[in-house]
Each structure stands twice: as structure tokens, then as C-alpha cells.
């Protein structure tokens, strides 16, 4: 199986899920290249993918320096305060905002408005980053103090080994929260987007209205599926 087969399979799976979802919406397919080389990422690029994600600042910088200029870059891992200045102006989307301290630092260092997702720990797993669902609304309200931080949506990760029903419930909860925030029309927080779905669960996330999916393994695998 080639990378071309993988891309075709992912696109077909997404399309099928979109067709069964009640509301069909625009979707950005992001290739998470974090465990892969520049050459492998370039092979995916050559198959037409233009959105790439890394979870560490260093990985993002290395890939960005080596790959073509027309890529949209997503930082999907948490940022440390002291690293914000090194990377924020090279990032198109930041998916893991979960502390006001980081919002404040982004506001200080960014030379343009940064599109951010608030990461929410819907499942309550201790090991997960993200803020508790009940804290999201006040967090988003507090971010209004930082005009260079635009809250474009919410992001979550479902537990890897949870049953499908549970994962789908987590994605649904994130969507309900996103809609509640969007309806408030808070300043600097359109909150219209949902970043959810990885290799093991993206069809479920698309069924629940994901508008950004972050897929790594499924792009790069070369064994039998
Ligand atoms: C690694 C990672 C992904 C992609 O995971 P796969 O299971 O390889 O698709 C998505 N989102 C985040 C935040 C990640 O760290």
C-alpha cells in the first residue's frame, strides 16, 4: 500500500462520513507529520495535501524550513510560555490553547491575529491536556482581553481505547459546547470550528461535525490496513 492509497482511503472515508452526517460542512484535512521525516512529508505534499501539523516547536521549524512555502501550518501540541516568541508568527493555527498565561504571551509576541482552538479535556482523563468543559466559557471570555488571540473553535482528543459510542459522545459534547459559545457572540471568539478526530476515530468526529481533522498514522502506514 502506497501513500497515494492512504490519501485516497482517508478522503473516501471522510466523504462517506460527511454524507451520513446530518450537517455537511467544510472540512480541513491536516496531515500530522510529527513522527515522520521531511521526505515522507514531502511525498504527502506531492499528493496534494497542503495542511500539516507538528506537536513540538522544533519539529515545526525543521519541517517548515525544508518544505514548500504554500503549506498551512498547524501547531497541535501545548506551548510553553518561553517558546511562544520563537514560533507564534510562523504558525497559521494553534490547536492547544489551555492557559491564560499563554494567551497573554501570544498577544504580546504575535505580529498578527492568531487563530486558536481552546483545547478541552472532555473525557476527564488525567493524562490529557486541556481545560474542563465547565471552565471553557469563562476562559473564552477572559481571552477577550487579548485581541491577537482569536478563538476560532474548540479542540479535543478522545481516549485512544474507548468504545466508539463513548468517543462519539465526547465529540458530541465538544460540539454542544462550541455551539453554546458561538451563540454568545463573544468578542474575539467566533468559535465556529471543531478540531477533532485522529486516525482511530476521525469517521466518528466527522459524523459529529468536525471541521478540522488531525491525521497522522493513516497517512504514513505501509502495512496491511
Ligand atoms: C499525534 C497527534 C494526532 C495524530 O494522531 P494519529 O493517531 O497518528 O492520527 C492528532 N492530534 C494530536 C494533538 C496529536 O498529538
Summarize pLDDT for 3-12 with one digit per residue, the tens: 999 999 999 9
Question: What's the DSSP call for residue 131?
Answer: B
* Of residues 70, 191, 91, the one with CA closest to residue 136: 191
Ligand 1 contact via 174 beta carbon (within 6 Å): no
pLDDT band at 125 (very low <50, low <70, confident <90, very high): confident
CA distance 186 to 34: 34
Query: Is the model's pLDDT at 49 over the cut of 70?
Result: yes
CA of residue 161 to ligand 1 center, whole Å: 14
CA 66 / ligand 1 centre spacing (Å):
21
> Is the C-beta atom of 155 inside 6 A of ligand 1?
no
**Phi first, then psi: what are they for 116, rounded to 5°?**
-125, 150
26 vs 178: CA distance, rounded Å:
16
Task: Show Cβ contacts of residue 108 under 8 Å, excluding neighbours closer than 6 positions.
Answer: none
Helix (H) / strand (E) element for 53: namely: strand 51-54
Place of cell 476515530: 201
Is 163 a residue whose pLDDT tops 90? yes
State how beta strands 114-119 and 72-75 pair: unpaired
Determine the distance separating the centroid of ligand 1 and the alpha carbon of 26, expressed in angstroms.
20
Nearest residue to 95 (alpha-carbon basis) of 80, 75, 124, 66? 75
Rounded mean pLDDT, 46-66: 97
Average pLDDT over the chain reads: 95
* pLDDT value for 127: 77
With a cut of 90, say whether residue 223 has pLDDT above it.
no
Residue 84's Cα: distance from chain center in Å?
A: 18
For residue 109, the model assigns a pLDDT of 97
What pTM was estimated for this model as a whole? 0.96
pLDDT band at 107 (very low <50, low <70, confident <90, very high): very high
Q: Provide the pLDDT confidence category of residue 225 given band limits of 50, 70 and 90.
A: very low
- For position 70, what pLDDT does the model report? 98
- Provide, rounded to the nearest whole percent, the portion of the chain with pLDDT above 70: 98
CA distance 23 to 222: 33
Q: Report the alpha-carbon distance of residue 113 to residue 119 in Å, rounded.
A: 18
29 Cβ below 6 A of ligand 1: no
CB atoms within 10 A of CB 121: 20
Amino acid at each position: 500500500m502506497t501513500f497515494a492509497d492512504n490519501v485516497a482511503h482517508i478522503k473516501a472515508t471522510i466523504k462517506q462520513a460527511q454524507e451520513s452526517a446530518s450537517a455537511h460542512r467544510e472540512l480541513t484535512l491536516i496531515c500530522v507529520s510529527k513522527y515522520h521525516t521531511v521526505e515522507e512529508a514531502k511525498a504527502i505534499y506531492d499528493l496534494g495535501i497542503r495542511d500539516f501539523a507538528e506537536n513540538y516547536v522544533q519539529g515545526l521549524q525543521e519541517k517548515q524550513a525544508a518544505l514548500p512555502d504554500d503549506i498551512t501550518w498547524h501547531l497541535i501540541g501545548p506551548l510553553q510560555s518561553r517558546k511562544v516568541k520563537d514560533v507564534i508568527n510562523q504558525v497559521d493555527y494553534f490547536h492547544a490553547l489551555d492557559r491564560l498565561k499563554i494567551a497573554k504571551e501570544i498577544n504580546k509576541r504575535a505580529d498578527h491575529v492568531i487563530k486558536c482552538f481552546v483545547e478541552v479535556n472532555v473525557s476527564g482523563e488525567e493524562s490529557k491536556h486541556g481545560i474542563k468543559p465547565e471552565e471553557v466559557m469563562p476562559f473564552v471570555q477572559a481571552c477577550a482581553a487579548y485581541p491577537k488571540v482569536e478563538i476560532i473553535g474548540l479542540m479535543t482528543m478522545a481516549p485512544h481505547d474507548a468504545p466508539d459510542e463513548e468517543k462519539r459522545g465526547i465529540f458530541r459534547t465538544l460540539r454542544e459546547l462550541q455551539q453554546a459559545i458561538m451563540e454568545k457572540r463573544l468578542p474575539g471568539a467566533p468559535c465556529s470550528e471543531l478540531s477533532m478526530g485522529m486516525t482511530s476515530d476521525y469517521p466518528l468526529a466527522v459524523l459529529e461535525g468536525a471541521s478540522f481533522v488531525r491525521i497522522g498514522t493513516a497517512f504514513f502506514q505501509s502495512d496491511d490496513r
